[in-house]
Structure 1
Amino acid sequence: MVKAQRSRAVPDDAPAAPGDARARPHRAIARLAVPAFLTLVAEPLFLLADSAIVGHLGTAQLAGLGVASAALLTAANIFVFLAYGTTSLVARQLGAGRPDAALSAGLDGVWLAAGLGLVSGALTAAFARPICALFGASAAALDHATTYLRISAIGIPAMLVLLATTGVLRGFQDTRTPLVAATLGFTANIVLNLVLVYPAGLGIAGSALGTVIAQTGMAGGLLWVVLRKARTSAAALRPHPGRVLRAALGGMPLLVRTLALRAAMLLTTWVAAGLGDVPLAAHQVALTVFGFLAFALDALAIAGQALTGASLGAGDVEGTRAATRVMLWWGWWGGVALGLLVLAVHRVLPALFTPDPAVRDALAVALLVLAIGQPIAGLVFVLDGVLIGAGDGLALAVVQVGVLVAYLPVLLAVRANAPDDAVAALQLLWWSFTAFMAFRLVALWLRARTDRWLVTGAA
């Protein structure tokens, strides 16, 4: 294993030393996880707000939003390595005492995000209707889905730049600045959507446009912060083609991991679409709630990425293990707490999203199953974050592809044997999704038990 020499030139805003995190792991985790939690929940709050506003336009509009949201999140989140991989690289360089190299790696990620965003946004807009048609929704839902996705594609470049800049700041163990951006962006999103959907009369198109404007503002603000930090450290702002290419190649394993994960989510939505508009509409809201809870638990994964990268960069294997144990404890009890919260409101939440009693009944049952699976989700997100922070991308890709292969027969069986009753069919689908999370937990746990991911040094 290679251990890099620590530089004496450490900036004033450098993160706490790995030894400090080991001595006070709860405090170090909380310092990163609490602001990260508040930041991460802003993204599903975008979708929750959209769902609540669009849901009162009609069931077809809400079903269309479900299809478009699944496609849009896939178009953007397959590149989540721009955040996760950048966090790991930046944190590892900082742990090795190389802040200038950390910023250079971060800027490479930002340039890569801009390029990928332009290509992905153009392709998504051009093929919006064929993409939405893949889900097999009704004709009315398909029209609304196409409208929403085509407009939302304009904001994909900003979404990817937002991922990359957030990753840079997390690597510097700064989770507060993204929190400020998320708070302002969420507030703007609510106001814009309410105005554009109803008073302006744009309907579902207004919801998409409002979210694009809010996300673009967030990306611009965080980009300004990163560029200012780069100027202070005299880091080169121009793109270096070779480094950007290496950043892209280095992100390939995490891209495969994310593609496999998104494929599982898309196939679950595909099965829901085959059950009819009522189960699909209820599934859209339940999946959005799952996203809200997932991002809440993912705050611990963010802490895991930053702390693991910094500890291994400094060669502190013992500290990495100790922090992982503490974060798993947090993940389990965080999942229990969120599950109890959803259980308490699973009959109340549906009324906030739709006036349709059939959709409300189906959604309540899906939320009940979702609540039961939260402790499993808490452990999954922590283990995923720790291994990402360690740069264990290849193993994560293999694990997630294997889990997808195991999940496919389960989904096909649900689609072929789903009962005619909408409530029972959606309940069966969500039990299957809970089994998918259990598959992930087993696979990640088996990997984390080994020492092969504990590689130290700057590389």
Structure 2
Amino acid sequence: MPLSMFFKDARNVFKKDELGIEIAQIALPAALALAADPVASLIDTAFIGHIGPTELAAVGVAIAIFNQVSKVAIFPLVSITTSFVAEEDTKERLHIEAQKDENGDKWFPVSKEKDVEMEELLPQSDSTSKSSFTDTSFGKMADLDNKRRYIPSASSALVIGSILGILQTLFLIFAAKPILNYMGVKSDSPMLMPAQKYLTLRSLGAPAVLLSLAMQGIFRGFKDTKTPLYATVVGDASNIILDRLFIFDFRMGISGAAIAHVISQYLISLILLWRLMSQVDLLPPSIKDLKFERFLKNGLLLLVRVIAVTFCVTLAASLAARHGATSMAAFQVCLQIWLATSLLADGLAVAGQAILASAFARADYEKAMSTASRVLQLGLAMGLVLSVVLVTGLQFASRLFTEDAGVLHLISVGIPFVAVTQPINALAFVFDGINYGASDFAYSAYSMVLVAVVSIACLCALSSTYGFIGIWIALTIYMTLRTFAGFLRIGAGMGPWGFLNN
């Protein structure tokens, strides 16, 4: 039965077998790369905080705007790219392996197969003519290890990422002031000028941000998360060094902070592009090969999903703010911890997505079932460990964020929800990766919209009745419904998981 898949080889969940090692090699670097940016942002904030409180507040608003606008474009692009690249890379390898079996250690491009057949029709005695035909028709044949692969989705992702990056830059430059006004930074606010300056300069790095993340999606599709990790660490390290240089030595203030960040993002993009060009032929034979229609169709589905997720979390923050500054401060601390712990689960989700996309492309359903079972079991185990750590540690760690007695009291109220929901959160994020690996984008979008509708109703009702506690009860319901949606799809053997019923 499909339900039995969740318990498949549960005793081997931590076993260092081939699958366990493959998951670890993808998940750990991915989690570290995801954690690198928040750490660099904290250091960034520390530098800016020494300029002045007004500048710190202004930059905080500008970064929030930049991140929200970027998230709308980044998440669908990266998720789709990973699945499509993994699928196409697997099919390319299968074709090359078949050619090697037929022709020895050499491979022939698909488009040259007819030339191979034509060569075989030449007289065997005419070795000179045959050699000449081979040289003119095929050029040099390379071994698989030295071959630059042609992955149409990789080229498509770079084109789409570049276009979206340029559009984001133009949008933020020309709409910076109206957006800041909407965010509460009015014309008479001392934060307006520094926030507008920082946002305008930071927006120049948008093409690099989207390009680098598109390339991270490509490398994830190749099951290579180490290259993005190295590039991210180098870029973030340069950002920290340039922050110190531009802000204090050159006395450029928040302009220096923005320029340092932009330079670091272009550095990350150049490193990834250099590595990618050595592995992939990025120039498509024609525009038709870019498959934009496939990207746009599934991208719009995930865009709907991102909007639904973002709206739920934003509404929760808005409702907390209506209960006063103390409630909002406590909610913000609890929410950041709640979200930060999801980085580890995201690493597992990336591993599950890449391996599953490859398994489905090979029609290797046994591998797909084993991978889904293992990452879900690992996610549950990790969530349980995080629950114990947070329950025991947050009571003491909360004083690192504030000394206000009222805020500390509300944080202590929120801690049980933050801790107890960790297993649910981990499973929800891993289910997302599994759905993307199966290219089940439509179900991910529609189920999330339904979850959001129910969750929004719960947030409004419980917040007005139970206040701060009500918000966290509603968020717990929200994550539980997300997990149940993933559980239902696989447990009932629906969609791409129909093979489980056989």
Pairwise same-fold verdict (TM > 0.5): yes
Residue of structure 2 in register with 1:214 after alignment? 264
Q: Deviations over 1:225-244 (max 9, x none)?
A: 1122224xxx5268826725
Q: What's the TM-score once normalised by structure 2's chain length? A: 0.74
- Give the distance between the partners of 1:166 and 1:341, measured in 2 at CA: 31
- Give the distance between the partners of 2:38 and 2:305, measured in 1 at CA: 21
Q: What's the TM-score once normalised by structure 1's chain length? A: 0.80
- 1:86 and 1:171 in contact (8 A); partners too: yes
Q: Deviations over 1:286-321 (max 9, x none)?
A: 444344322221000000111100000000112111
Matched, 1:448 2:490: yes
Corresponding residue SS for 1:248: helix
Structure 2 counterpart of 1:108, one-letter code: S
Residue of structure 2 in register with 1:245 after alignment? 292
Aligned CA-pair RMSD:
3.5
- 1:298 and 1:381 in contact (8 A); partners too: yes
The partner residue of 1:89 within 71, 84, 93 is 84
Where does 1:9-408 land on structure 2 (aligned, <5 Å)? 24-52=18-46, 67-79=61-73, 80-96=75-91, 97=94, 103-134=151-182, 143=192, 148-194=198-244, 207-231=257-281, 235-236=282-283, 240=287, 243=290, 245-246=292-293, 247-347=295-395, 349-350=397-398, 352=400, 366=414, 369-408=417-456
**CA distance 1:94–1:237, shift in 2 (3 Å):** closer
- 2:152 and 2:291 in contact (8 A); partners too: no
**CA distance 1:337–1:184, shift in 2 (3 Å):** farther
Unaligned runs of 5+ in 1: 1-20, 420-424
- 2:490 and 2:497 in contact (8 A); partners too: no
Give me the identity figure in percent.
Answer: 29
- Give the distance between the partners of 1:252 and 1:429, measured in 2 at CA: 29
Structure 1 counterpart of 2:419, one-letter code: A
**CA distance 1:148–1:83, shift in 2 (3 Å):** same
- 2:149 and 2:279 in contact (8 A); partners too: no
- Give the distance between the partners of 2:381 and 2:190, measured in 1 at CA: 39
- Compute the displacement of 1:413 (Å): 3.5
- Compute the displacement of 1:388 (Å): 0.3
- 2:357 and 2:438 in contact (8 A); partners too: yes
Matched, 1:410 2:458: yes
**CA distance 1:356–1:296, shift in 2 (3 Å):** same
- Give the distance between the partners of 2:438 and 2:488, measured in 1 at CA: 16
- 2:89 and 2:151 in contact (8 A); partners too: no
- Give the distance between the partners of 1:192 and 1:227, measured in 2 at CA: 28
**CA distance 1:193–1:253, shift in 2 (3 Å):** same
Whose Rg is larger? 2
**CA distance 1:334–1:211, shift in 2 (3 Å):** farther
Corresponding residue SS for 2:203: helix
- Give the distance between the partners of 2:412 and 2:257, measured in 1 at CA: 25
**CA distance 1:71–1:432, shift in 2 (3 Å):** farther
- Give the distance between the partners of 2:332 and 2:172, measured in 1 at CA: 20
Unaligned runs of 5+ in 2: 1-14, 97-147
**CA distance 1:30–1:126, shift in 2 (3 Å):** same
**CA distance 1:218–1:147, shift in 2 (3 Å):** same
The partner residue of 2:480 within 422, 438, 441 is 438
- Compute the displacement of 1:203 (Å): 5.8
Q: Structure 1 stretch 436-445 or stretch 189-198: which is displaced more? A: 189-198
**CA distance 1:211–1:287, shift in 2 (3 Å):** farther
- 1:48 and 1:285 in contact (8 A); partners too: no
- 1:109 and 1:164 in contact (8 A); partners too: yes
Q: Structure 1 stretch 155-164 or stretch 200-209: which is displaced more? A: 200-209
Corresponding residue SS for 2:30: helix
- Give the distance between the partners of 1:121 and 1:389, measured in 2 at CA: 31
